[in-house]
Structure 1
Amino acid sequence: MKIAILGATSHIAKDLIASIARQTTYQCDLFMRAPAQFAPEIRAISEQRSFALLDYASFDDSRLYDAIINFVGVGDPARAIQMGKDIFTVTEQYDNLALSYLQRHPQCRYIYLSSGAAYGTNFEAPVTETSKAVFAVNALQPQDWYGTAKFQAECRHRALPAFAIVDVRVFSYFSHRQALDARFFLSDILRALQSGAVLEVAPDDMVRDYLVPADFLQLIDRILQSSSCNDVVDCYTLAPIGKFDLLAALGEQFGLQYTVVGDQAKINATGPKANYYSRNRKAEHLFGYVPGDSSLSGLLSEIRQHLNARQ
């Protein structure tokens, strides 16, 4: 199978590229803005499998692909805020690039990396198959841009039922390659573990479902190997985890120390989410996806790998 990966420099894309190179026979072309600046580790892995590193200008109809996977978007909350309204333009530009290809090659599959943020602000409880997207339509704020851009993309895809398009909503994701300077809770944890500092956390709890590379590869592989369809699935693990349960486990496993402080300013590109995870198991019903890890087991394994690599 020949796959075009758009947005190959994103964190989650680099993990998938490494997983595909090491665990499958798929052949990939990797598209990005600046191939010369591609991460050395993933470049070396890609070169071992003769994956081509290309700029977006090289993506055209003359290339034949069995599938396109689109990772173009914003991962770091700080960057999402900086992009502002440009999130809409960037999201639509590269989505249209893939959709135009499908018009000329309708047999090609298209996997689009969406987000749990497409549900809007609907996270007082975890979402389910019957959940509705909730946006304050008369009082939209900049933190709504990311989710509405993803929601708009999903609408475009459902309006093209003849094409094999699967949107994959990622809620929370982590791997040992997580950048330490990113504005994520787990990046803060990694910095504290490496420096031995006491981590300061806000008093509010939150529940997250952290997908890791092995289960992400499994889900993508099952979609690629399934019968063609036009649909959307949520990502999930065997079990989510609350913030303070995670901190307790990391204290026991790695000696993490933390202290609870008052309300602290924090970047939240898509609004507050007390229960940012899904109980929608359509991925199992449609594709046979059954995760191998819980949030806790996956995080412990990836954090241990991160720390061991830096000893």
Structure 2
Amino acid sequence: MRLAILGASSHIAKDLVASIAAHTAYACTLFVRAPGALDAELQAIAARKGFAVSDYAGFDASRQFDAIINFVGVGDPARAVQMGKDIFTVTEQYDHLALDYLRSHPACRYIYLSSGAAYGSNFAAPIDEASQAVFPINALRPQDWYGAAKFQAECRHRALPEASIVDVRVFSYFSHRQAPQARFFLSDILRALHSNSVLEVARDDMLRDYLTPSDFLQLIDRILQAPPCNAAVDCYSQAPVGKFELLAALGNTFGLQHSVVGDQARVNATGPKAHYYSLNRKAEHLFGYTPGDSSLSGVVREIRQQLDARD
């Protein structure tokens, strides 16, 4: 199967490319803004596997792909805040790039990396099959724009029921390739582990469901192998994890120290999310996806892999 990977330089895309190279026979073409700036690991994978690397000018109707996977977007919440309203423009531009290709190649599949943020501000309780997207339409804030851009993209995709498009809503994701300097809770943890310092955390708990590379590959592979459909699915592991449950486990496993300091300033690009995970198991019903890791087991393994690589 021939795959076009849009936004191949992103963290989650790089993990998928590495997983595809190690575990499948798929042939990838990696599309990025500046091929010369591709990081060394991706360059080595591309060279070893014969994956082509191109800028977006090389993506047109003359190319033959069986599937497109679109990772273009914003991963780091600090960058999301900096982009502001440009999130809408960037999201729409590269989504239309893929949709235009589908019009010329209707048999091609399209997997779009959406986000749990597409549900808006609806995270007082976990998401389930009956959940609705909630946006404060009369009081929209910059924190709403990322989720609204993803929601708009999903609306475009459902308006094309004849096209094979699957929107994959990623809630939380982590791997050993996570940059410690990024503005995520797990990046804060990595920095504390690297520097052997005490991690300061706010007193409020939060529940997250961290997907890791092996289960992400399983989900994408099952979508590619299933009969074509037009749908959206939520990502999930075997079980979510609470903040303090995770901190306790990492303290026991890696010696992480933390202290509760009350309210803590944090970049929050998509608003507060006390229960940022989904109980919707549509991915299992449609594609047979069954995660192999819980959030806790996946995070512990990936942190251990990063720390071992530094030694």
Supply the distance in 1 between the matched residues of 2:52 and 2:214 (Cα, whole angstroms).
23
Aligned counterpart, 1:119? 119
Contact 1:31–1:54 at 8 Å: present in 2 too?
yes
Structure 1 residue 269: deviation in Å?
0.1
Supply the distance in 2 between the matched residues of 1:114 and 1:147 (Cα, whole angstroms).
9
Deviations 1:97-135 (A, max 9, x none): 000000000000000000000000000000001100000
Structure 1 residue 43: deviation in Å?
1.3
Supply the distance in 2 between the matched residues of 1:83 and 1:294 (Cα, whole angstroms).
33
Contact 1:18–1:46 at 8 Å: present in 2 too?
no
Q: Between 262-271 and 244-253, report the one with greater CA deviation.
A: 262-271
2:224 is aligned with 1:224: yes
Q: SS of 2:133's equivalent?
A: coil
Structure 1 residue 42: deviation in Å?
1.7
Aligned counterpart, 2:62? 62
Identity %: 74
Supply the distance in 1 between the matched residues of 2:39 and 2:128 (Cα, whole angstroms).
37
Aligned counterpart, 1:86? 86
Amino acid at match of 1:288: G
Aligned counterpart, 1:239? 239
Deviations 1:157-212 (A, max 9, x none): 00000000000000000000001110000000001001100000011100000000
Amino acid at match of 1:72: V
Supply the distance in 2 between the matched residues of 1:74 and 1:277 (Cα, whole angstroms).
19
2:236 is aligned with 1:253: no
Residue pairs, 1:1-311, within 5 angstroms: 1-311=1-311
Q: SS of 1:262's equivalent?
A: coil
Structure 1 residue 45: deviation in Å?
1.3
Q: Which runs of 4+ in 1 moved over 2 A?
A: none
Supply the distance in 2 between the matched residues of 1:222 and 1:186 (Cα, whole angstroms).
28
Structure 1 residue 265: deviation in Å?
1.1
Supply the distance in 1 between the matched residues of 2:180 and 2:190 (Cα, whole angstroms).
7
Structure 1 residue 250: deviation in Å?
0.2
Amino acid at match of 2:242: G
Amino acid at match of 1:157: H
Structure 1 residue 262: deviation in Å?
1.7
Supply the distance in 1 between the matched residues of 2:264 and 2:235 (Cα, whole angstroms).
29
Supply the distance in 2 between the matched residues of 1:297 and 1:180 (Cα, whole angstroms).
20
Supply the distance in 2 between the matched residues of 1:119 and 1:296 (Cα, whole angstroms).
24
Supply the distance in 2 between the matched residues of 1:221 and 1:89 (Cα, whole angstroms).
29
Amino acid at match of 1:270: T
Structure 1 residue 264: deviation in Å?
1.5
Supply the distance in 1 between the matched residues of 2:257 and 2:180 (Cα, whole angstroms).
18
Amino acid at match of 1:294: S
Supply the distance in 2 between the matched residues of 1:119 and 1:278 (Cα, whole angstroms).
10
Structure 1 residue 39: deviation in Å?
1.1
Deviations 1:6-63 (A, max 9, x none): 0001000000000001100000000000111111012101211100110001101000
Q: Which runs of 5+ in 2 are unaligned?
A: none
Supply the distance in 2 between the matched residues of 1:137 and 1:11 (Cα, whole angstroms).
32
Q: SS of 1:129's equivalent?
A: coil
Contact 1:30–1:54 at 8 Å: present in 2 too?
yes
Q: SS of 2:74's equivalent?
A: coil
Contact 1:168–1:234 at 8 Å: present in 2 too?
yes
Q: Between 45-54 and 207-216, report the one with greater CA deviation.
A: 45-54
Q: SS of 2:238's equivalent?
A: coil
Structure 1 residue 303: deviation in Å?
0.2
Q: SS of 1:130's equivalent?
A: coil
Amino acid at match of 1:104: S
Amino acid at match of 1:33: R
TM (normalized to structure 2)?
A: 1.00
Q: SS of 2:236's equivalent?
A: coil
* C-alpha RMSD of matched pairs (Å): 0.4
Supply the distance in 2 between the matched residues of 1:262 and 1:252 (Cα, whole angstroms).
23
